[in-house]
Structure 1
């Protein structure tokens, strides 16, 4: 059954598998049972449902994909969802990534601020297939947003602010500011223009306010605050508005982005932390996978 070629998806006849990481930030051992119960209320039963810890995820995913499901539901944090998404492509399975972590970068890009139960309900009520353009950096794929450089650590402070955890935000913000100005990065887009800054953000079309969802380009944003006070202002204001509108941010659109740094630098790919060495090539991955989204016109951009 080639579900990706039909505008209306009949999930009643689809072979559905589900993967739950019980160790994710906002999940527990009972998350698998909760997901199964929620699906049952919608008249669906997964052919395969795995619920376990992140250390066993890859082996479990190998087994799930061997069964060639039409739809793969994943409930977990950013690292879990990114790992599963990079195992999918346009040949399938259709991916339904539900928010079960702290930042939930990709689910928020697809489903806005919906809880995992609301996202599942809305998708099942009116499923729509949506190609997702992604990107690749250092052999790792991401599908919503990446941040490179010391200020990438401020993302955790931003999310703490969102959830009202202001003491935690202050703690993480101070730690990030200590390393934010260790080194400067150089960002070059499409081998031509470039800019310097303490951080480089790369946004995929699904997360960008300046790109259409199907546009075959990425958005680069170079952050160059004048000092710690400006950096803290940037991350705190970013919790409530589009930080790319800040005067300390320079933006560009490109198919290929190169990040240069004098030594290793931290980065976040869809909320998962990595360490990179420059020069780092970031390239567009057209139609990286097919996502299931609600058929309504609900907001699906990063808030």
Structure 2
């Protein structure tokens, strides 16, 4: 018997989640034995409802929302007996994509097939978990700008934010302590990937694997603005890692220090650098039809 809870974040996707909530609930009920729906009216409410569902012992918590809502649900589901599923209804939907969910139909199929997987999570020194990418520098500035924009919707919002931030881009001195490695350089951004993508499908850490117990780290060293403009199309394909200004490596624990940057994780604002994170193997159970999530 599968007991599930649906957590609806109605503001996600500029109200899209609220509009489709009833239809999503109806489809999910065809794949589980019982389903209770909960509607959150704030970030605090989302987290509280997610924790209540986990405390009640539901087998699956399904989030209808974007990466922000999924990030809050991860805080409740990490190291628990409750599996997380995400029905994408936000701006970026990077965690849903990593789990192979482009719609409620993908989640329904995985539930019917019993598709459960354990995946790694990142954990900040504050105790906050993240499922996708921790970033700082240019990419976190893009996040800040994208979150403030009211138009356009979807991934194009990030594209517009990228162009705007390029105009004011300045490198800063960055130190990365990664296991036994120390890297110091003038840098423009750093991304610590548990999964490959952020910002609505940008594969900043294209080879990241959520089952290897390691982060993939991507660092962009200082480079002329014109070179960065030429690199932008490669960001969408993951080929940016071939650029001589880009350095990549893997590590279990990472500490970022030096610049006056703000760290973002799962697209959510964390705190200013310095920031430390550790990869915790198998910390989250998820519903997914992808065998190599």
Q: Return the TM-score normalized by structure 1.
A: 0.80
* Cα distance change of structure 1 residues 154 and 229 upon mapping to structure 2, 3 Å threshold: farther
Partner of 1:4: none
* Cα distance change of structure 1 residues 274 and 91 upon mapping to structure 2, 3 Å threshold: closer
Question: Please, which moves more after superposition, 285-294 or 229-238?
Answer: 229-238
* Cα distance change of structure 1 residues 101 and 21 upon mapping to structure 2, 3 Å threshold: same
* Cα distance change of structure 1 residues 73 and 34 upon mapping to structure 2, 3 Å threshold: same
Give secondary structure in 1 for the equivalent of 2:21: helix
Question: Does 2:164 match 1:175?
Answer: yes
* Cα distance change of structure 1 residues 43 and 154 upon mapping to structure 2, 3 Å threshold: closer
Structure 1 contact 149–199 (Cα < 8 Å) conserved? yes
Match among 271, 274, 277 for residue 275 of structure 1 = 271
Question: Does 2:4 match 1:16?
Answer: yes
Give secondary structure in 2 for the equivalent of 1:244: helix
Structure 2: which 5+ residue stretches go unaligned? 198-204
Partner of 1:133: 120
CA distance in 2, matches of 1:94, 1:151: 30
Partner of 2:192: 202
CA distance in 1, matches of 2:210, 2:176: 23
Partner of 2:200: none
1:224-272: CA deviations, max 9, x gaps? 1412223333334312344333332101111111111243x12321222
Partner of 2:201: none
Partner of 1:107: 96
Q: Tell me the C-alpha RMSD between the 2 structures.
A: 2.9
Question: Does 2:213 match 1:216?
Answer: yes
Give secondary structure in 1 for the equivalent of 2:76: coil
Structure 1 contact 94–292 (Cα < 8 Å) conserved? yes
Structure 1: which 5+ residue stretches go unaligned? 1-12
The CA deviation at 1:162 is 11
Structure 1 contact 23–52 (Cα < 8 Å) conserved? no
Give secondary structure in 1 for the equivalent of 2:276: strand
Match among 184, 192, 196 for residue 173 of structure 2 = 184
CA distance in 2, matches of 1:254, 1:170: 29
Match among 231, 234, 250 for residue 234 of structure 1 = 231
Partner of 1:266: 262
Q: Return the TM-score normalized by structure 2.
A: 0.82
Question: Does 2:246 match 1:249?
Answer: yes
The CA deviation at 1:205 is 5.6
Aligned residues: 277
